[in-house]
Amino acid sequence: MSAGWRWPARIAAAASAGAHRGGGIGRALMAAAEAEARRLGGARLTLGVRLALDGNRCFFRSLGFTEGALHAHPGYDRPTWVEMTKPIG
Sheet holding 44-50, edge to edge: 8-10, 44-50, 81-87, 66-71
For residue 86, list its beta bridge partners: 45
pLDDT tens digit at each of 89 positions of the chain? 445 557 788 898 887 787 878 889 999 999 999 999 999 888 999 999 999 999 999 999 999 999 999 999 999 999 999 999 999 97
| pTM listed for this prediction | 0.86
Break the chain into its structural domains and give their ranges.
Answer: 43-87
Radius of gyration of the CA atoms of the chain, in A = 14
In sequence order, what DSSP letters do the residues of 18-65 get, joined into one string?
GGGTTSSHHHHHHHHHHHHHHHTT-SEEEEEEETT-HHHHHHHHHTT-
Local structure of 38: helix, strand or coil: helix
